[in-house]
């Protein structure tokens, strides 16, 4: 039985627990209030990325194959959903991003705003998860919030958010971080451990279905075990089996897809030694850009072609990595924190260093989306340690960090503007790497072509093709512009160059046929137009042009058949109906001629020339009354007709 003294002490403890201590600093309470801190760093991140919401799609940088021209996202039917999960796009298996695009298209079509809103929300979610993970990694709340802010506002993350196609990045990152958070809960919790592990594996699967780069997660989990000093035993190996099997399965599948798509050709372009220097240089650049984010670009071209001497910095980059590794190693005797953050960064970026190359560049800002979690952890941990040892100096540290944050926010805000459209994006790349690579000029040229600024388009295409004469697609595009401008000789030169590259494009062949018609070389015209139709039987203009060529050679029946085939695709083209009528007239088949010209008149009754044509046909048939009626009608509609012709019909 408890005495009165025990009860009194218990009541005093409860009262003490409920009543805030008089010694508690309100300022400290503010700094440790998670709700306020989360709201602040998410709000600041949102403001930094605000210009991304006004960005357009970038069809010249994959938005066409993933969104604007992608038939897979046009419907949420079962057939399309099956195709989304059984198809690859450009050598990548990314069904979940495609599914989100399909949902957005179903509600908003090709309005870019909802797509960019989703990307930004996913980035905010990822930033929030970084905060939660850092707290689980024993970083004090206020310092975890500062580190999460650094992650959220960092300019290297802009590419993943402002580029609609990189939904892949922000989506896989959110699932990746979610899986890590659940794993941390699993190793720190005593209840529902199996369920937490199962959900962590589930989020890992979703991350893999968003982007193949998620394959690094099992190794990251081992680094977490190292951080928490979990002694290696069979249980730890067993809990990772599912992660590693999934990683292996998706990794092998991803390599096969990349190989089939030709994305691994860079391994044949550069030697293993050259690619190794590319890898160490990229790793050094990612480390440097974390602290000083300079020379950000949507595209970082290879510095030289294979066999040429690389710039000196590439050869020195291994020394930078070795020195950094030595410094990190020296900290191990005092703390595991810096080693853990560095290993996290290294593990999650190693598969993107392009030593075994895949794609057009060896360096990409977006590759740091997950790896920078390791580095912001080091920043958060370091600030906390400094606060513990040198508390009086913290105002200076916070002032420096505040200024640094403002610089990052400004950089991110302005960087988002670069992704406004194809012109701003590729102009930025060209400014960073003038004359270094053909693609930025070609892509900006294509943007100008879409905007009907053909002179600007031709200027960029000329530079691009001077740097890369093998780009047959751009050569065809330039030829098409020349063709539309009536510059037949220049168009002809481009089309013949493409033919020498053994590339057969139906539109280019069709235009080449049209040029031969203008040159009165009708046999050659028919040859190329026939090849065009063979490649694409739906190219209506090729039928119409071949009909003209047949007509010039006196092959009237063939001409009529091609004109009729053209009308299958363009049933309201009154000029072709009239042309068929004239062709029948030349064959002496006047009744058929009258019927076809009559169809032209029904489609365009205000055009007097058709009445004049029919008047002449009626005259040849001996139907002078009808010929006179049509002749008068043609005259009244402004057609110049000889008075003698009308008099002869009376």
Of 401, 418, 435, which residue is a domain's last? 418
| Cβ–Cβ < 8 Å for 419, 52 | yes
- Other CB atoms closer than 10 Å to residue 84's CB: what's the count? 21
Beta bridge pairs of residue 89: 92
- Measured between alpha carbons, how far is 137 from 150 in angstroms, rounded to an integer? 17
Could you tell me the two tokens for 511? 């235009």
Position 273 in a domain: yes
- Measured between alpha carbons, how far is 68 from 64 in angstroms, rounded to an integer? 5
pLDDT of residue 122: 97
Q: What is the mean pLDDT of residues 458-475?
A: 92
Position 238 in a domain: yes
Handedness of CA 81, 87, 93, 98 (dihedral sign): negative
Q: What is the CATH number of the domain that holds 619?
A: 1.25.40.10
CA 131 to chain centre: 28
Position 251 in a domain: yes
Position 607 in a domain: yes
pLDDT in tens, 590-637: 999 999 999 999 999 999 999 999 999 999 998 989 989 998 999 989
pLDDT of residue 27: 47
Of 418, 453, 476, which residue is a domain's last? 418
- Measured between alpha carbons, how far is 617 from 633 in angstroms, rounded to an integer? 15
More reliable by pLDDT, 645 or 55: 55
Residues 6+ apart with CB under 8 A from 307: none
Averaged pLDDT of the chain: 89
626 — phi, psi (to 5°)? -70, -35
- What band does 357 get if pLDDT is binned at 50, 70 and 90? low
Distance in angstroms between the alpha carbons of the first and the last residue of the chain: 135
- Measured between alpha carbons, how far is 528 from 156 in angstroms, rounded to an integer? 50
| Highest mean pLDDT: which range of 184-198, 302-316, 397-411, 497-511 | 397-411
> What is the pTM (predicted TM-score) of this model?
0.82
Position 20 in a domain: no
CA distances 367 to 431, 480, 591, 616, Å, are 22, 37, 71, 73
pLDDT of residue 309: 82
pLDDT of residue 191: 77
Q: What is the mean pLDDT of residues 467-486?
A: 90
Could you tell me the two tokens for 53? 């919401």
Q: How many domains does the chain have?
A: 2
Position 545 in a domain: no
Domain that holds residue 628: 572-650
Of 418, 447, 481, which residue is a domain's last? 418
Position 88 in a domain: yes
| Cβ–Cβ < 8 Å for 378, 341 | yes
pLDDT in tens, 122-175: 999 999 999 999 999 999 999 999 999 999 999 999 999 999 999 999 999 999
Position 511 in a domain: no
H helix and E strand count, the chain: 33, 0
pLDDT of residue 15: 41
């Amino acid at each position: 039985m408890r005495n009165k003294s025990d009860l009194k002490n218990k009541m005093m403890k409860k009262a003490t627990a409920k009543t805030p201590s008089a010694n508690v600093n309100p300022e400290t309470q503010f700094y440790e209030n998670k709700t306020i801190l989360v709201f602040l760093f998410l709000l600041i991140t949102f403001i930094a990325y605000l210009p991304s919401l006004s960005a357009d799609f970038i069809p010249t940088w994959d938005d066409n194959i993933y969104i604007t021209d992608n038939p897979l996202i046009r419907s949420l039917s079962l057939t399309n959903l099956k195709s989304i999960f059984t198809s690859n796009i450009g050598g990548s298996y990314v069904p979940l991003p495609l599914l989100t695009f399909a949902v957005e298209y179903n509600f908003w079509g090709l309005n870019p705003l909802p797509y960019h809103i989703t990307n930004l929300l996913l980035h905010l979610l990822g930033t929030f998860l970084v905060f939660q993970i850092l707290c689980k990694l024993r970083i004090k709340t206020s310092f975890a919030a500062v580190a999460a802010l650094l992650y959220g506002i960092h300019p290297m993350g802009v590419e993943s958010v402002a580029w609609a196609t990189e939904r892949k990045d922000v989506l896989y990152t959110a699932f990746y971080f979610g899986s890590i958070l659940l794993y941390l809960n699993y190793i720190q919790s005593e209840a529902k451990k199996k369920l937490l592990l199962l959900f962590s594996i589930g989020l890992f699967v979703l991350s893999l279905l968003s982007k193949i780069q998620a394959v690094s997660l099992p190794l990251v989990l081992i680094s977490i075990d190292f951080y928490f000093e979990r002694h290696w035993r069979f249980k730890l190996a067993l809990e990772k089996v599912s992660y590693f099997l999934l990683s292996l399965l998706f990794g092998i599948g991803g390599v096969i897809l990349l190989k089939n798509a030709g994305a691994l050709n860079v391994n044949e372009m550069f030697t293993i030694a050259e690619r190794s220097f590319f890898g160490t240089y990229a790793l050094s650049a990612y480390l440097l850009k974390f602290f000083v984010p300079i020379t950000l670009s949507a595209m970082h071209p290879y510095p030289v072609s294979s066999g040429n001497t690389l710039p000196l910095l590439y050869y020195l980059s291994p020394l930078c990595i070795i020195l950094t590794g030595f410094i990190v190693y020296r900290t191990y005797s005092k703390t595991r924190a810096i080693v853990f953050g560095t290993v996290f960064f290294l593990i999650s970026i190693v598969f993107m260093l392009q030593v075994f190359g895949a794609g057009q560049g060896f360096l990409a800002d977006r590759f740091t989306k997950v790896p920078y979690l390791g580095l912001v952890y080091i920043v958060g941990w370091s600030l906390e340690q400094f606060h513990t040892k040198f508390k009086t100096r913290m105002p200076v540290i916070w002032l420096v960090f505040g200024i640094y944050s403002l610089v990052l926010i400004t950089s991110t805000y302005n960087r988002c503007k670069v992704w406004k459209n194809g012109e701003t994006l590729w102009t930025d790349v060209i400014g960073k790497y003038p004359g270094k690579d053909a693609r930025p000029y070609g892509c900006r040229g294509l943007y100008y072509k879409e905007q009907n600024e053909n002179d600007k388009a031709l200027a960029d295409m000329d530079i691009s093709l001077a740097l890369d004469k093998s780009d047959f697609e751009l050569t065809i595009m330039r030829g098409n512009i020349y063709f539309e401008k009536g510059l037949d000789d220049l168009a002809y030169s481009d089309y013949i160059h493409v033919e020498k590259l053994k590339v057969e494009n139906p539109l280019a062949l069709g235009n080449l046929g049209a040029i031969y018609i203008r040159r009165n070389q009708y046999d050659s015209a028919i040859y190329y137009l026939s090849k065009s139709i063979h490649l694409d039987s739906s190219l209506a203009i090729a039928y119409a042009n071949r009909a003209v060529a047949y007509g010039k050679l006196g092959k009237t029946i063939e001409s009529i058949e091609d004109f009729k085939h053209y009308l299958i695709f363009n049933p309201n083209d009154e000029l072709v109906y009239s042309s068929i009528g004239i062709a029948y007239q030349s064959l002496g088949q006047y009744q058929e001629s009258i019927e076809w010209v009559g169809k032209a008149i029904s489609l365009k009754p205000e055009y007097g020339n058709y009445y004049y044509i029919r008047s002449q046909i009626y005259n040849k048939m001996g139907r002078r009354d009808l010929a006179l009626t049509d002749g008068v009608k043609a005259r009244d509609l402004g057609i110049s007709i000889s008075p003698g012709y009308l008099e002869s019909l009376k």
